[in-house]
Amino acid sequence: MRRPVEFLADMLPLDEAGRRAVDETLADWRCEANDATTSGGRLLVDVIGTAAVVGAITRLAFDEVRMPGSWQLFARVVGLALTVSAMIAMIGAWSTLAAAEWPTAVTLLVALLPITLGSYLPLVALTPPFRLQRGVPVLGVCLLLGAIAAANLGWVTPVAKLSFRVNAVDVLAAHVREAPVPRSDPERSVPALAGRAMAGGFDGASAAYVLSERAALGATAPAFLLLGIQARRFSRHRRWRHAGGLLAWAVAAVAAFPAVLAVTELRDWLQALFFYPANELRLLQFWVVPAVALVAAGLMARRSPASTTIEAKR
Amino acid sequence: MHRMRLPASERTILELLAAREACYGLELVASSEGRLTRGGIYVTLGRMEQKGLVTSEAAEGGRRQYRATGLGERALLAARIFSGEATIEVKP
């Protein structure tokens, strides 16, 4: 049990102090495991050791999240998500109506904001705080992100997506008289699916669709994070160590956009690149992320010294 | 003016270290009667080392032994005085 935990702990984006704390906790576990003679004793040591490592990681994450730089970045990402959501909501409202209707735009904005925020939050984890002199604190925001992403994918996104679709369809139905606008199958959150299953009204096809889409979206966010973290870890130069995470994020986001569409909607890859149904306008948000990430990576690469390596600084 | 705060966990560690020469983090947890946890001990010790309150040296098996520094002992004394647990006798 210790080796899988060691492997997972090794993959976490810890700074130097955090790495040492986790290593020492693991060393205690190793020492106690060597002293344990019975299988019951070894099991107890494993349980206590796992709890200790989880406790150390939680404590480190909590300390990092409390740092002022983390919250500054969080506020910036919220601001970016709000701006992009407002733009897309206005495009949605203005493109379907002859005259602009602010209540419609606001309704679309409220429905869209949780999805956009959930998509942009990984940027927090991969952006080093500029004003902090210590190592890049990303573990706390990564874990916070994981919790938010789980809630977002399982509950907020399905509810918000359904709300956005219903609103978009209502706008179209009210103003486009030529043909009736069909409503898509309602998307259900994990709690809603569980509730239906408990009530005996479980719809297997609907559940399979929702869960496959959730799985596809759920796999992209950790993939972004891992790509960025690995890029930063293996970069010797300071400028690429900082900017590399964002660059990887940008490339992954560009690649993931048609991939998500192709997987979830079973469309052709090329068609997915150019096909924007009215109620899929929200997916435009994915194109903003790589653009912002590329600009931020360029700015960071210019600010950081090119020739100084992390090893040389130590 | 730089003000240094001594949280309860750091004070507990300094009290335990004051009573012995040097010890492992796990020994501190065992002798703290539940006031320190395995999950938090090394995070706290790392922070105290950065502040200069404790020092450590590598031991076998990747573990480290910790001891209080002079600054740590003075910080503990100051904390005891401010909480009324110790007094300073001022001679005329």
Tens digit of each residue's pLDDT (9 = 90 or more) over A95-136: 655 555 677 777 777 767 766 776 666 566 555 544 444 444
Tell me which chain B residues have a C-beta less than 8 angstroms from the C-beta of A48. Answer: 38
Q: Region A228-253: what's the mean pLDDT?
A: 53
Burial class (CB in 10 A: 0-12, 13-18, 19+), A72: middle
For residue A208, pLDDT over 60 is answered with no
For residue A260, pLDDT over 70 is answered with no
For residue B65, pLDDT over 50 is answered with yes
Asked if the Cβ–Cβ distance from A52 to B62 is below 8 Å, we say no
**What are phi and psi for residue B34, nearest 5 degrees?**
90, -5
**What are phi and psi for residue B23, nearest 5 degrees?**
-155, 165
Collect all residues with Cβ–Cβ distance below 8 Å to A32 and sequence separation of at least 6. Answer: A45, A48, A49, B26
Question: Does this model's pTM top 0.90?
Answer: no
pLDDT digits (tens, 9 = 90+) for B4-56: 678 889 999 999 998 888 899 999 999 988 899 998 999 999 989 988 999 99
For residue B69, pLDDT over 90 is answered with yes
Buried b (16+ CB within 10 A) or exposed e, A295-306: ebbeebbeebee
Asked if the Cβ–Cβ distance from A54 to B62 is below 8 Å, we say no
Selection from A220, A222, A248 nearest residue A234 by Cα: A248
Domains and CATH numbers, chain B: 8-82 (1.10.10.10)
Higher per-residue confidence, B32 vs A280: B32
Asked if the Cβ–Cβ distance from A56 to B43 is below 8 Å, we say yes
Query: Token match 């790509």: residue?
Result: A227
Q: Rounded distance, CA A138 to CA A144, Å? A: 10
Which region among A54-68, A151-165, A228-242, B32-46 has the lowest average model confidence (pLDDT)?
A228-242
Contact B44, B10 (CB under 8 A): yes
Query: Closest-CA residue in chain A for B38?
Result: A52
Query: Token match 């910790």: residue?
Result: B66
Q: In the prediction, which pLDDT does B61 show?
A: 80
For residue A159, pLDDT over 50 is answered with yes
Residue in A27, A30, A54 nearest the CB of B39: A54
Q: Rounded distance, CA A272 to CA A274, Å? A: 6
